Amino acid sequence: MAIDFLRRAGEAGQTRAMYNLGAFHATGRYVPIDQALAVDWYTRAAYAGHVRAAETLVTMYENGLGVERDKALAQQFRELFE
């Protein structure tokens, strides 16, 4: 299945796969919605250098979208791409 291939790529460190897995879990595309997994994959991608993942986490933490609002974490992820 394609999602299994993507998961293996993400686990192997492919940042685009990590970002896409985060997006899929956040939206329910191809997998059930799971905000915790979305944040996990976005976080892995952000720390691996994926700017869009870091930007997504900033928005999530600033606005409490699927996570508790946390301005400090939002700032932490903002600093990854500034």
Helices (H) and strands (E) in the chain, counts: 5, 0
Residue 80 pLDDT class (50, 70, 90 cuts)? confident
For the stretch 58-77, pLDDT in tens is 999 999 998 999 999 999 99
Query: Are the CB atoms for 44 and 25 separated by under 8 Å?
Result: no
In the chain, the amino acid numbered 54 is A
pTM: 0.93
In whole angstroms, what is the distance from residue 20 CA to residue 68 CA?
22
Comparing 18 with 80, which gets the higher pLDDT? 18
> Count of domains in the chain?
1
Domain range holding 62? Answer: 2-81
Which CATH number do you get for residue 18? 1.25.40.10
Dump strand ranges (E) for the chain: none
Asked if residues 38 and 29 have their Cβ atoms less than 8 Å apart, the reply is no
What is the tens place of the pLDDT at every residue in 46-60? Answer: 999 999 999 999 999
